[in-house]
Amino acid sequence: MKILYHPDRADIHLSSVLYALSDPVRLLIASAIRKSDERTCGDIDVPVVKSTLSHHTRTLREAGVVNVRIQGTQRFLSLRTEDLEFRFPGLLTSILDAFETSDEKKKLMNPD
């Protein structure tokens, strides 16, 4: 089984987190995960192909935003809320709350 890199709490950097959350699709992924404790990649409805979803997931994981747990052929995603709150209090909540009410989310969900 492939071992996935997850940065230690102390190695999560603000610039990496902000970069990971600067993309609308990655924001949509993080927002979807926040609505439940854990989601599989296949459960997340995003307007991209599977390989692009994998790329976005990897970016979020390597920045320390999400944790990826492998069970068989499934990959379960969860937000590293506790680690991010410890490092940057209020950051994740503020960003995701702003995204939830933005026109950007509406455009992603309804591309017409």
CATH code of residue 35:
1.10.10.10
Q: Rounded to 5 degrees, what angle do the CA atoms 57, 14, 26 make?
A: 25
Q: Give residue 69's pLDDT.
A: 93
Residue 4 lies in a domain: no
pLDDT at 88 over 90: yes
CA distance 84 to 78: 12
Across all residues in the chain, what is the average pLDDT? 91
Residue 31, φ and ψ in degrees, nearest 5: -65, -40
Tell me what the mean pLDDT of segment 83-91 comes to. Answer: 97
Residue 23 lies in a domain: yes
Residue 29 lies in a domain: yes
CA distance 12 to 83: 8
At residue 99 the predicted structure's pLDDT band, cuts being 50, 70 and 90, is: very high
Residue 3 lies in a domain: no
Residues contacting 16, CB < 8 A, separation 6+: 7, 62, 63, 64
Which two structure tokens, joined as six digits, stand for 92?
Answer: 């994740």
Residue 111 lies in a domain: no
Residue 97 lies in a domain: yes
- Percent of the chain exceeding pLDDT 70 equals 95
- One DSSP character per residue, 27-96 reads HHHHHHHHTSS-EEGGGS--SS-HHHHHHHHHHHHHHTSEEEEEETTEEEEEE-HHHHHHHSTTHHHHHH
User: What domain count does the chain have?
Assistant: 1
pLDDT tens-place string over residues 47-83: 888 889 999 999 999 999 999 998 888 999 999 999 9
Host domain of residue 102 = 13-106
Residue 30 lies in a domain: yes
Residue 89 lies in a domain: yes
pLDDT at 44 over 90: no
